[in-house]
Structure formats: C-alpha cells, structure tokens
C-alpha cells in the first residue's frame, strides 16, 4: 500500500506538471509537497478534483500542524472548499481525528483494488476490438474522455498533453471502426496502475471496459509486473457500479478505501461563531 500511495502521489505530480503555460497563467495552479503528501490547487476552480490533498501520512510523515497549513493555503488562495483523500497508512486514524477536530466532513471517496498479475483471467464476452493507442489516436482518447467527463474547453490542451505524456500507455476499444472506450496503464517497477477508464454512453454494456482491463493486465504481466491496482468511486446504493463490478469480476480485491474529507469555509466560520457564543471550543 505504501508503494501504491507513492505512485498515486507521483502520478498526480506528473499530471499537473503537464499543464500548458497559457492555461497555467489563467488558472494559477499550485502543487506543493507537504510531508509525504501532495497538495494541488487551482485558483480558478472550486472542483474538489482540482483542489485536494493525496497521500498524506502514507509513510508516517504527517504532523497535526500540517492540517492547519493546508487550510491556510487554500483559504489564502480564496477557495471555499477542498478535500483530503485520506490515505491508507500508519497515521490514518490519527489524521482522521485531526480533520474532524477542524470540522472536515466525510463525503464519498475511492475504493482501492489490487490484483495479482500472474493469476489467469476469466473469459470475457465481448465483440469489441482492443488496441494500444498510437500517436494518431491521441485525439480519439481525448475525445472519449471529454464526452464522458466533460472538462471545460479551456483544459483540452492539458488533456492532449496528458495523452502524449511519456510513461503512460493508452488502449482503445473499437466497435467496428468506431473508438468507444479508453483505458490507461502506467508501470513502476513491478507495480502497474490501471486508470483513465471511460466509455461512451451509447456503447456501455458491451464489455468494452472489461476487455480494456484484461488487455492492460496482460500487458502489465508481459512487462514483468506482479501487482496491478486501480481505484474507483466508493459504491453508493442506487448509483451505477459497473467499473467496480468489472474489476471484482476480473480478479481484483478491494484492499483499502480513500474516504474524502471536505473542508468548507462557510462551515468553519459557523463553527467559530458557535465557539465564541458558547465560550468553549466547538466540537
């Protein structure tokens, strides 16, 4: 799990380093290592995906004062909220106490899943064709992501830079001649990360996601990986869980969670007012 969290931190750091200069001038991004974690901040966005902290405490390097530093950093940037993705690790319970003490609230998160690349794959029923994306396919990769996640048009240059970044492989699933689904692979030694999965709405339910998982697992095994990991949204009753189910069906095990703890400026101000009125620290 320490290796997985280290990959999570370094992957986020790499991704933010790809922001094109013209976009950086407009959105004023900031990336800061704090303890063994990573803070990412985008002044012109209130999205938790942009403004969050990952990996803090996964190697036992967190201190309580760092939580106050996080709050001050986002508040000084004029942001009203941010998230801490609570990492698995030796300080998990301790950090959760620090967060709750300052009024952070739990809101969703991610499940971390792990698989032994040496284990055989089950049969997959699908008619899609999976290929490793070439240079000429980068726009198709970005188009599927854009149709699925709908990033602002201003970030398309960032998406294209990510699709061309060294160290990542991208795979496309085709229905005939139409690219319908995408998934990415990153290898670090004997550990592989599977991410960047997206399928166009009209082609869901045809086995494309499962086929892409299988293709990347086979590739990871050929590159000498022992373990492969992925993350997906924590299961919530009443919401689609196709990615989670496919990962389990293909041999992944849920080994940890990264719950999201969110800080809101309005909530913090309200707690301060209650504390002053009550004459004692807020709980």
Beta carbons of 254 and 215 less than 8 angstroms apart: no
Provide Rg for the chain, Cα atoms: 20
pLDDT digits 0-9 by tens, 186-245: 999 999 999 999 999 999 988 999 999 999 999 999 999 999 999 999 887 776 677 899
Question: Positive or negative CA dihedral for 31, 157, 244, 108?
Answer: positive
Looking at residue 194, what is its pLDDT? 98
Beta carbons of 65 and 15 less than 8 angstroms apart: no
Instruction: Note the pTM of the prediction, 2 decimals.
Output: 0.90
Cα–Cα distances (Å) from 128 to 139, 185, 204, in that order, read 20, 19, 11
How many Cα atoms sit within 13 Å of 2 on the Cβ side?
A: 7
Looking at residue 282, what is its pLDDT? 40
State the pLDDT confidence band at 283, using cuts at 50, 70 and 90: very low
pLDDT digits 0-9 by tens, 229-272: 999 998 877 766 778 999 999 999 999 999 999 999 987 655 55
Element (H, E) at 99: helix 92-101
Q: Which CATH superfamily is domain 118-225 in?
A: Gcn5-related N-acetyltransferase (GNAT) (3.40.630.30)
Looking at residue 273, what is its pLDDT? 52
Looking at residue 266, what is its pLDDT? 83
Looking at residue 271, what is its pLDDT? 57
Extents of the domains making up the chain: 2-111+259-278, 118-225
pLDDT digits 0-9 by tens, 139-175: 999 999 999 999 899 899 999 999 999 999 999 999 9
Architecture of domain 2-111+259-278: 3-Layer(aba) Sandwich (3.40)
pLDDT digits 0-9 by tens, 25-70: 999 999 999 999 999 999 999 999 999 999 999 999 999 999 999 9
């Amino acid at each position: 799990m320490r290796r997985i969290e280290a990959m999570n931190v370094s992957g986020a750091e790499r991704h933010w380093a790809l922001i094109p200069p013209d976009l950086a001038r407009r959105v004023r991004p900031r990336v800061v290592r704090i303890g063994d974690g990573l803070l990412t901040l985008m002044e012109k966005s209130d999205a938790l995906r942009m403004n969050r902290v990952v990996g803090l405490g996964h190697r036992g390097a967190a201190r309580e004062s760092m939580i106050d530093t996080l709050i001050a950093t986002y508040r000084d940037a004029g942001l009203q909220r941010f998230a801490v993705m609570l990492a698995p690790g030796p300080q998990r319970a301790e950090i959760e106490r620090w967060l709750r003490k300052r009024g952070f609230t739990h809101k969703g998160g991610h499940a971390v899943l792990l698989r032994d690349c040496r284990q055989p794959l089950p049969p997959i029923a699908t008619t899609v064709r999976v290929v490793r994306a070439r240079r000429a396919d980068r726009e198709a990769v970005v188009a599927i992501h854009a149709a699925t996640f709908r990033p602002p048009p201003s970030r398309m240059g960032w998406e294209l830079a990510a699709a061309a970044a060294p160290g990542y492989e991208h795979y496309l699933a085709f229905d005939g001649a139409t690219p319908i689904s995408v998934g990415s692979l990153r290898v670090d030694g004997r550990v592989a990360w599977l991410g960047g999965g997206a399928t166009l709405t009209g082609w869901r339910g045809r086995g494309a996601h499962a086929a892409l998982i299988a293709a990347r697992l086979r590739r990871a095994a050929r590159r000498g990986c022992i373990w492969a990991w992925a993350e997906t949204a924590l299961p919530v009753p009443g919401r689609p869980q196709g990615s989670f189910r496919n990962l389990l069906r293909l041999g992944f095990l849920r080994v940890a969670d990264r719950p999201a703890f969110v800080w809101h400026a309005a909530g913090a101000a309200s707690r301060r007012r209650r504390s002053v009125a009550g004459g004692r620290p807020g709980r």
